[in-house]
Amino acid sequence: MNYRQAHTLTTVTNKVQYMKTTTKYILASSIVAIMIVAMFGGYFLSQYQDYEVREEQEKLENCIRTFWELLNHKGTDFRVVNGQLLAGAYAVNGNFELPDKVQDIFGGVATVFMGDERVSTNVLNAEGKRALGTRLVGPAYEAIFKQGRTYRGVVNILDVPYLTAYDPIKNRQGEVIGALFVGIKESEFLERMHDLKVHLMMTLAGMATFFISLMVVLGRALHQVEAANDSQIRFQQTLLNTIPNPVFYKDTDCRYLGCNKAFEFYAGISQDELVGKTPHDLWPEELAECYLQHDLVLLEKPGFQGYEATVRYADGSLRDVIFNKATFNGSDGSVAGLVGVILDITERKAAEEATKNAYQQLWEIVEFLPDATFVVDKEKRVIAWNRAIEKMTGLKKEDVIGKGDYVYSIPFYGERRPILIDLIDENMDLIRDKYAFITIEGRTLFAEAIIPNFRGGADCCLWGTATPLFDSQGNQVGGIQSIRDITGYKQAEGERLLLKSQVDQNRLMETIMVRLGHDLKTPLTPLFILLPLIRKQLAQPDLIKKFDICIKSAISIKNLADKAAVLAKLSFRIQPFDAEDLCLAAVVDDSVLTCEDMLGLKQIVCQNCVDPAVIVHGMPGQLRELFVNLISNAVHFSNDRSVITISAEQHGNALWISVRDEGVGIAADHLEHVFDELFKADESRHDLETSGLGLSICKRIVLNHHGRIWAESPGIGQGTIMRFTLPRKAV
């Protein structure tokens, strides 16, 4: 059995086999048919001949009986007198009445013999004349004249075969004195027989011709089919060779019958070398045993078999493969062998491994995401449930993984119901009112939901994000949802909004105060100009005194407006911190110079004890304002001819700056409040010369420099120290 024979399982080869069988069958049938026809023809012919002979003989018997009756009617006493045969008185010789009558009735010929000589006959000789005088010879003569009995048979009369009947004519003594003869030309009968034989022969020849033609046609068809079969086999071999997977076939003894090119490459041997070998001849013991065992299992239970195994290529590399094997049947229907295909899955396995690793990494990422996160597959079954969501819901992985039917909604809503991840493809208009807030970007849903009594506790505000997941082909394979508890954030957000509204309110206040400061000055201008004019024209001293009060009030209003505008600006205006490095002693000197007039008025000395080497980081304008305010404040509360001392000292990391006076001091319970807006130590006293905003401005400036300011006083009447901190040089 070679590899070609293995192809008998194909339909084409089956067809060829079928045709071969058919041809043989038809050939055999034809011969039998011809034989039967010949036999039946022969039998029928012989039967027919017998029948015809009987018919002829009967006719012959009728004929000779009639001849006898005609003769007996002439006379029954036969005798030869003077060379004349007489029947009674009727002379037979040369009298053709009776034979011609017989010929008229039956056709054929009739003769009366006297002895063995024809004396009355219508048998014609070669010349066409009555053959009188001729003699009877042959078996008929023997039967009539020697044995004295009748004769029936075929006799040549004048070289013409006749079917004949001869009866002896006897005299009263019973001696044979002559014979009666009737004959029917055998040629008529034979002609019919011959015709039949010819018909039969022609029939047989026709049949033979037909069957021979059939044979020829079938033979040619068979040849064509075989040619097609050859082409088909070549096609199949090419097809096999084109398949990149190794393909092989074996017989029932597990010996290789053939293979394709890929198999040759894999095995490292040619097909011719392969044929007849067993797995043990080719592969390492362990692998060969594996293949063989599978082969035997398959042959035991014919059908299909698939299994994963390892193969060793000719180059020595080991590869993971899938074997697909199937049995094939021979023409007799029994298992003739098996076909196998080897599918190399090394790369696929590697890819699967890589995918598995990638998934593992992905799961780990999901697992450790800070936000509560879960992932569902296409059927909405949970496939990932991370630590954060375990912590948020108290529901463990093992209780949800692999489960569907909205299991993930239970911890949030206490029932199975669709949640954000289930609404990805919903119409937004239908779901908008289910959430405190919901929006969609692309196919990602963002929503905020209030969960009342979350896990039996307080109401909870959750922020959810749900996104569909797609595979590399773009098919939706599931979804991922993250949930964040933003309750705290919302509270902070609420506070932030409150703060913002306060800031807005402050801005409004600032605007009002600035406008107020500005608008007050316009009506103050006429007062400032006209009041001194009017005062000059006053003569009465008490009127002048009252008028001075008016002037002081106007000045007080102006101061208030000025300070309020400054404080508003310092407090509210968002301005860049355009700080620079400054020599603190120089700033103090500038400020003291500004206050020269008021110091001079009370003959107060202001000492600048600041080390000129001290550099601070601050805004010069604001720092001058700060010192002017503190000095003004100190002057205001100091007695005439006292001393104000300004100094700076390093205190830890900070620079402590102090403005010390020897004035009225501050009560201990007022120390904390002197920096409050519009705070005045004595509520009942309407001190027109102070605005009550000076120290507030100081506090604001110090705060603007990220420092702090406070007041120290040993007590009433013992002076005050205003201290504040300032940053040193910029770091």
* Contact between 601 and another protein per CB under 8 A: no
Tell me which residue of 669, 682, 667 sits closest to 718, measured CA to CA: 667
Say whether residue 512 binds another protein (CB under 8 A): no
Told to check if 529 binds another protein by CB under 8 A, we report: yes
Give the C-alpha distances (Å, rounded to integers) separating 358 from 403, 480, 520: 23, 17, 75
Segment contacting another protein (CB under 8 A): 379-387, 526-534, 578-586, 653-661?
Answer: 526-534
Give the separation between CA 705 and CA 315, rounded to whole angstroms.
81
Q: By CB under 8 A, is residue 598 in contact with another protein?
A: no
Closest to another protein by CB, 92 or 568 = 568
Tell me if 522 contacts another protein by CB under 8 A. yes
**How far apart (Å, rounded) are the C-alpha atoms in residues 112 and 198?**
37
- Nearest distance from C-beta of residue 684 to another protein, angstroms: 29
Query: Under a CB-based contact definition with an 8 Å cutoff, are residues 535 and 490 in contact?
Result: no
User: Of these, 168, 517, 665, 694, which contacts another protein (CB under 8 A)?
Assistant: 517
Stretch that binds another protein, among 20-28, 282-290, 520-528, 605-613 (CB under 8 A): 520-528
- The reply on whether position 530 binds another protein by CB under 8 A is yes
Q: For residue 399, give both structure tokens.
A: 């209780």
Residue (of 105, 4, 19) closest to 60 by Cα position: 105
CB of 569: closest distance to another protein in angstroms? 9
DSSP per-residue letters across 169-237: EE-TT--EEEEEEEEEEHHHHHHHHHHHHHHHHHHHHHHHHHHHHHHHHHHHHHHHHHHHHHHHHHHHH
Tell whether residue 533 is a contact of another protein (CB under 8 A): yes
Q: Closest approach of Cβ 689 to another protein, in Å?
A: 16
Q: Which is nearer to another protein, 525 or 718 (CB)?
A: 525
Binding of residue 527 to another protein (CB under 8 A): yes
Over the range 102-126, which residues count as b (16 or more CB within 10 Å of their CB) and which as e? bbeebebbbbbbbbbbbbbbbbeee
Alpha carbons 610 and 612: distance in angstroms, whole number? 6
Q: Indicate whether 524 belongs to the interface with another protein (CB under 8 A).
A: yes
User: Cα separations (Å) of 190 from 40, 46, 453?
Assistant: 20, 12, 129
Candidates 53, 130, 145, 134; CA nearest to 99 is: 130
Regarding 558 and contact with another protein (CB under 8 A), the answer is yes
Taking the least distance from each CB to another protein, the nearer of 81 and 529 is 529
Residue number with CB closer to another protein (529 or 539): 529
- Among residues 526 and 652, whose Cβ is nearest to another protein? 526
| Cα(54)–Cα(246) distance, integer angstroms | 83
| Cβ closest to another protein, residue 392 vs residue 561 | 561
Strands (E), 289-443: 304-312, 318-329, 335-344, 372-377, 382-385, 437-441
Sole window of 8-16, 41-49, 485-493, 512-520 interacting with another protein (rule: CB under 8 A):
512-520
The interface region with another protein, picked from 56-64, 220-228, 514-522, 689-697 by CB under 8 A, is 514-522
Output the smallest distance, CB 705 to another protein, in A: 20
Which residue stretch of 200-208, 451-459, 517-525, 541-549 sits at the interface with another protein (rule: CB under 8 A)? 517-525
CA dist 427 and 431 (Å) reads: 7
Piece of 13-21, 452-460, 516-524, 606-614 that binds another protein (CB under 8 A): 516-524
552 binds another protein per the rule CB under 8 A: no
CA 303, CA 326: separation in Å to the nearest integer?
Answer: 5
CA distance 487 to 462: 7
Q: What is the DSSP letter of 311?
A: E
DSSP secondary structure, 36-59, as one string: HHHHHHHHHHHHHHHHHHHHHHHH
The residue range among 249-257, 315-323, 521-529, 634-642 that interacts with another protein, by the rule CB under 8 A, is 521-529
By the rule CB under 8 A, 518 interacts with another protein: yes
Stretch that binds another protein, among 312-320, 523-531, 594-602, 641-649 (CB under 8 A): 523-531
Residue whose CB is less far from another protein, 301 or 536: 536
Up-side HSE of residue 537: CA atoms within 13 Å toward CB?
A: 4
Q: Which is nearer to another protein, 228 or 688 (CB)?
A: 688
Minimum Å gap between C-beta 500 and another protein is 27
Judged by CB under 8 A, does residue 694 bind another protein? no
The answer to whether 369 contacts another protein (rule: CB under 8 A) is no
In 3D space, the residue among 572, 531, 571, 526 whose CA is nearest the CA of residue 551 turns out to be 531
Q: For another protein, which residue of 528, 552, 593, 716 counts as binding (CB under 8 A)?
A: 528
Q: Using the rule CB under 8 A, which residue among 101, 521, 670, 728 binds another protein?
A: 521
**Which residue number, 294 or 558, has a Cβ lying nearer to another protein?**
558
Q: Locate 228 and state its tokens.
A: 């097609």
Q: How far is the CB of 635 from another protein (least distance, A)?
A: 21
Contacts of 14 (CB under 8 A, 6+ apart): 8, 331
> Does 719 contact another protein by CB under 8 A?
no
Q: Which residues contact 551 (CB under 8 A, 6 or more apart)?
A: 531, 532, 535
- Identify whether the C-beta of residue 109 lies closer than 8 Å to the C-beta of residue 182: yes
Q: Which is nearer to another protein, 194 or 573 (CB)?
A: 573
Which residues within the stretch 559-588 sit at the binding site for another protein (CB under 8 A)? Answer: 562, 565
Residues that bind another protein (CB under 8 A): 517-519, 521-530, 532-533, 554, 558, 562, 565
